[in-house]
Amino acid sequence: MGPSSAPRVVVLAGGVGGSRFVLGVRAALRDRGLTDTAAALTVVVNTGDDLWLSGVRLQPDVDSITYALAGVNDTERGWGRNGDSERVNRELQEWGAGWPWFTLGDLDLGTHLARTGWLRDGSTPTRVLERMSHRWDLGARLLPMTDAEVDTVVTVREGDGIRSMHFQEWWTRHRATLEPVRFDNPGIEEARPAPGVVDAIAQADIVLLAPSNPVVSIGPILSVPGVREALRAAPAPVVGVSPIIGGRVVRGMADVCLAAIGVDTSALAVASLYGARAGDGLLDAWLIAEEDGAVADEVAELGIRSLVTPLWMTDAARSAALAESALGVAGI
Ligand code: FO1
């Protein structure tokens, strides 16, 4: 980064935790007097949560981040549009279409219809997202992790056997109560990073792993062939933010996901899952909550610089302060 040029920040992110963190990064950049934050901030978004439902393509994490940056998100529920209504959803249910446990808001459906139309016209998810981003002043460039459809499938234990279902069925219908055995993204081996992803990582001054679910949000992004390699080769520091505070997950059901892959719900275990770039992993630095400060030395022993700092993103100022600490690792 030259003395007068804007920093180039790349964030790998999932839905709710990801959006709060991205809002914090945008605020931290604005606090530096940067007006064109869209030129500085690229967000690579998980698309493993995506699904086809009632004939439309949903991209829950993409939409959560878009709506949050636009300031039109439902902050109470954590997904969908603020002040949305559900007339079409009730009608779909009368028809027996879709899933009775999965609500499609009217305004949200407008997004899905527009996206599906453009996809059916031959556009790629990357171009659709770029087009959608023009509606609001998001102050960030959003990229899907890949243009391939690699929706997450959860295999659960059932009686003496196993059964597979779409991630959204496991997450919203069963609230992650069915014991997961595996998470897969069929087709991901042949997927490529979306255009712009690898270049953004290669040209970044810092790459941040948001405090999103390490298994079903960050995990799919890292599983796209080429992303892990790009992170390992990046000239910039790769800095992760722990999604664990005080030995517990902050939101969602990440503990169930971590247990399924044999990882403890601790800041140390998640750091170890990502691994040190000094070894064969990804992280140069790991931000740990004050409540987990006791593991800082063990994180350092993994070869990852640890930084103990407040991680609660309970309001915009705290999210910005957290992002500030993360950017500070790269001297930005
Ligand atoms: N989450 C729910 O708990 N119930 C829903 O009915 C629901 C609908 C929904 C519709 C569109 C959308 O983009 C997201 C939606 N979510 C819903 C959130 C979503 O299931 C998950 O929280 C994320 O995919 C996990 O990051």
Please report which confidence band the pLDDT of residue 6 belongs to, taking 50, 70 and 90 as the band edges: confident
Please report which confidence band the pLDDT of residue 274 belongs to, taking 50, 70 and 90 as the band edges: very high
**pLDDT 10s digits, 171-193:** 999 999 999 999 999 999 999 99
Does 2 or 39 have the greater pLDDT score? 39
**pLDDT 10s digits, 51-60:** 999 999 999 9
Rounded distance from Cα 187 to ligand 1 centre (Å): 23
Residue 86: helix, strand or coil by DSSP? coil
**pLDDT 10s digits, 114-160:** 999 999 999 999 999 999 999 999 999 999 999 999 999 999 999 89
What's the mean pLDDT in 96-122? 97
Test site for ligand 1: of 50, 64, 79, most ligand atoms within 8 A of the Cβ: 79
**Residue pair 54/8 in contact by the 8 Å Cβ criterion:** no
**Residue pair 46/151 in contact by the 8 Å Cβ criterion:** no
Does 2 or 75 have the greater pLDDT score? 75
Rounded distance from Cα 19 to ligand 1 centre (Å): 14
Is residue 155 within 6 Å of ligand 1 at its C-beta?
Answer: no
What pLDDT score was predicted for residue 3? 42
Q: Considering only CA atoms, which of 258, 264, 311 is closest in space to residue 286?
A: 311
Is residue 63 within 6 Å of ligand 1 at its C-beta?
Answer: yes
Rounded distance from Cα 75 to ligand 1 centre (Å): 13
Is residue 80 within 6 Å of ligand 1 at its C-beta?
Answer: yes
What pLDDT score was predicted for residue 142? 98
Is residue 18 within 6 Å of ligand 1 at its C-beta?
Answer: no
**pLDDT 10s digits, 16-29:** 889 999 999 999 99
Does 4 or 157 have the greater pLDDT score? 157
Rounded distance from Cα 76 to ligand 1 centre (Å): 13
What pLDDT score was predicted for residue 17? 87
What's the mean pLDDT in 211-216? 97
- CATH node for 9-73+124-148+188-329: 3.40.50.10680
- Separation between Cα atoms, residue 298 and residue 306, nearest integer Å: 9
What pLDDT score was predicted for residue 2? 44
What pLDDT score was predicted for residue 255? 94
Is residue 24 within 6 Å of ligand 1 at its C-beta?
Answer: no
Is residue 123 within 6 Å of ligand 1 at its C-beta?
Answer: no
Residue 175 burial class via C-beta count within 10 angstroms: exposed 0-12, middle 13-18, buried 19 and up: exposed
Rounded distance from Cα 123 to ligand 1 centre (Å): 24
Which atom belonging to ligand 1 lies closest to the Cα atom of 213? 26
Is this structure's pTM higher than 0.95?
yes
Please report which confidence band the pLDDT of residue 332 belongs to, taking 50, 70 and 90 as the band edges: confident
Give 174-179's long-range contacts (Cβ < 8 A, gap of 24+).
175/253, 176/253, 176/256, 176/257, 178/154, 179/260
Which atom belonging to ligand 1 lies closest to the Cα atom of 102? 6
What pLDDT score was predicted for residue 1? 54
Is residue 220 within 6 Å of ligand 1 at its C-beta?
Answer: no
Rounded distance from Cα 57 to ligand 1 centre (Å): 13
